[in-house]
Each structure stands twice: as structure tokens, then as C-alpha cells.
Amino acid sequence: MRRIVLASASPRRRDLLETLEIGPFSVCPAKGGEQAPDTDDPEAIVTALSGRKAEEVFGRVGPDALVIAADTIVCCDGEVLGKPRDEEDAFRMLRLLSGRGHEVYTGICLLDRDGPACGAEKTRVFFRELSDGEIRRYIETREPMDKAGAYGIQGKAALFVRAIEGDYFNVVGLPLCRLGRMLAAKGVSLL
């Protein structure tokens, strides 16, 4: 079995890899900043950011590893929503998403001695209408503060989601179907 390294500090991504019973893997978060490339294309943004994370970690862990890196953003009306800066930014994002559809993009990059394999997944998410009080109470939970778009679908924000189109796990932060295909192409079978 190859040495697999997850280039992420996200407990959600770690839990999803454990769900797949991918075997022993280590966690080595990328240390670099998440400066987005100068483009309005969300797929290009997450693909580039996940690629940068993979390269940085691969440089630290060595050529015998298979590094898995990911980056997630939320887009609504062409605006890219990363992690909120503060509570007011979280409120602004959740108010924007209220009663509307938006897209969640996750870029994945697998990097080993044979080179990178990168791609992106898109899922549409539809929120019900939210009151200002609901948004404030949700922010008080602190749940939205470390998540793209200021919400976690796997947590209390599940109460806001009326429908999704696409991969649920993509919204959590790691599209498992795409990841499985990419791992198989790198010689790692999960079944």
C-alpha cells in the first residue's frame, strides 16, 4: 500500500477519508496562504489552490507519497465566498444565500512521483428563506466561522438546505465519487 498523505487540516476531510477505509494515511496540512489566482472562473480557482497545496506538501513529505489536496469555495451570483473574516461577514454571506440557489466547487489534486491529477466538482445547493434571527443564532454556534460560504451542510446548516443537485460530499469538502475515480487512475483501489 502506498503512503497516502492528506494535505488538509479539515476534520471533515479526514473523516470522509476514514469513511472510505482508504487504509492508513497521515495528515500534513499545507502551510501556504490561500491566495486565489486572478480569475473569475471558480473551477480554475479551486483547481489551482488544491494544486498549490498538493505541491507544497509533496515537497515536504517526499516522492514516495501520494498527496491528496482539496479546496472548496461557494459562489452566488458570481461572487466567490470563502471563509468569513468575522461574524458580520458570515451574516452577509448567509443573507446572500437565503432563499436562493448557489454553487459549491471543490478542487482536488492528487500528486505523486508520476505527476498531478487535478479536477473540480460542482454541486448546486438551495437554501430556504432565513430570518435574521436564525442567521444570528446560527453564527452564535461558531459553526460557520471556518467554512466556505459560512455554513456546514453536515451540521446545523442542514436545517437551511431545501435541496441539492450533485454530490453531497462535495459540499462537505471532498467529492468522494470523483476522488474514488482519481485514486483508481493512480492505482489505488478502494473496493
Distance CA 139, CA 149 (A): 12
Q: Is 89 a catalytic residue?
A: no
Q: What contacts 82, CB < 8 A, 6 or more positions away?
A: 34, 73, 74, 148
Q: Which of 15, 40, 41, 71 is catalytic?
A: 71
Judge whether 139 and 87 are in contact, CB under 8 Å.
yes
Judge whether 104 and 165 are in contact, CB under 8 Å.
no
Distance CA 97, CA 120 (A): 22
Which H helix or E strand runs over 76?
strand 65-76
- Torsional sign, CA 89, 90, 93, 96: negative
Q: Which amino acids are annotated catalytic?
A: 71
